[in-house]
Structures are given as structure tokens and as C-alpha cells.
Copies of this chain bind each other. A is one copy, B any other.
């Protein structure tokens, strides 16, 4: 009989080509799959709550995996960490009911984006932030961030989808954001966003757009127009660099 496990996984994204397994590349899913195989003998693909891009970090990525091995949860956690590089750590392992699925069962996720505002970014911080020492209207950015709270179609903030235009694919880009705000912590300007779910590149595109507001290129009030357009091309914001982004936690 298969036993289903929920793993909470932290990783330093700078070391990997993102979450999703890719032949010949060092990915978090690939390394986790290898470690599970070595520990349990089961060759399975662990499911993440979502894919993180290359360079994106995780404090609390959640992973589900079904194994046949009778290994206890505590032993599974220790053995996995023994077989993983230091830049990936399984922080928690719990046996859960067979219907738990890391992605499908998720009710909310929280991401954090860190911008380092000082002139010189310390080498110990550089891997985990986007260094932007130039002037920004932080107040305008805070107003803009509040505009996306609630239920919206976020197509204007999603990566352009190669599937688009195919009539048979009907995917909703409607998501609900419960929280979206910027806060100052010393030299860092930190964006925190909690939502029901996120489209590909959505957080980085939100940050890229808020940066345009900070630079004065667009006004906070234009955020609503960009949302309403439901077109990525209606959004002049660039995708902010991956290094600043971290998946903080996933709720169920």
C-alpha cells in the first residue's frame, strides 16, 4: 500500500535550474526524486505546490509524494537530508491522507520579494535580493500594490502563454489576492503577497510593474487599467529578476 507524505522543503534557488525536473539539469524536483529513490527504492516524481523558476528561493515549498517504503516520517526526513545537497533541506515530513496533493489541495500561498536599496549590496545578501539602489517613490508603490488585492483576471501579469490561441484550451487566469503590500526593513524594501494561487511569473511581473510606478513611469491608478486590459502586452512592466523572490509558505 502506498503511503502519502507531505514535505516542507527550503532551497537556495541560486544553485538550481528551478523546481521542475529537466534532463541533464540540476533541479530541485530532480534532486528530490533521486534522493527519494536512494532512500526508499521508489522511483517517483514528487509533486510541488507550484514550479519555482530558476533562481527563485523557497523557505516553505510544499511537496507531496507517495512511497511504498515502511520508513517512519522522522527517518525519512533525516535520510532525505543526508542524500540532498546543503542548499536543499527537507524541514518537515508528515504522513498525510492519500488524497492530499501539494498543488491541488493548496488554499493559499505567500511569496516575498526583497529589493536591496543600499548603495553597496553585501556579498552575503546578494544571492537573495534584487539590488536596486536608484530612487523609487515607495509611497506610490504601496498605493499601487493595494490595487491588485481581491479577485481579478491576472492575464496582464502572467507570462505570455504559448498555449494561448488554442481554442481547446480554456484556462482561467482569475486569482484572488488576500494581501499585497510593500514594507521597509532597514535597507530592504520587501513586497509580500498572499493569494489563492499565482500564474507563471505573476509575482515577478507585479514587482516589475510596481517598480515602474516607483520610477514614476506609470501612476498607481493605471494598475486598474492594466488589470482590466487582460493582456500581457498592455503591461509595460518587465519581469523582475528571480533572485529577489522567495516562496515563503503554502496553506492547506
Contacts and interface: CB of A to CB of B under 8 A. Distances in A.
Interface string A89-102: 11100000000000
A71 to B, nearest CB: 17
B123 A10 contact: yes
A88 interface: yes
Interface string A124-150: 101110010000000000000000000
A24 interface: no
A191 to B, nearest CB: 18
B128 A124 contact: yes
Contacts of A126: 12, 86-87, 89
A162 to B, nearest CB: 32
A120 B123 CA distance: 24
Contacts of A77: 120
Contacts of A88: 123
A121 interface: yes
Contact of A87 (B11, B86, B123, B128): B123
Contacts of A90: 120
A248 to B, nearest CB: 12
Query: Considering the complex of A and B, which 5 residue pairs feature the smallest CB-CB distances, nearest first?
Result: A86-B126, A12-B123, A87-B123, A89-B123, A10-B123
Given A10-B122, A89-B120, 5 more contacts: A10-B123, A77-B120, A86-B131, A89-B126, A91-B120
Interface of A: 10-12, 57, 59, 77, 81, 86-91, 120-124, 126-128, 131
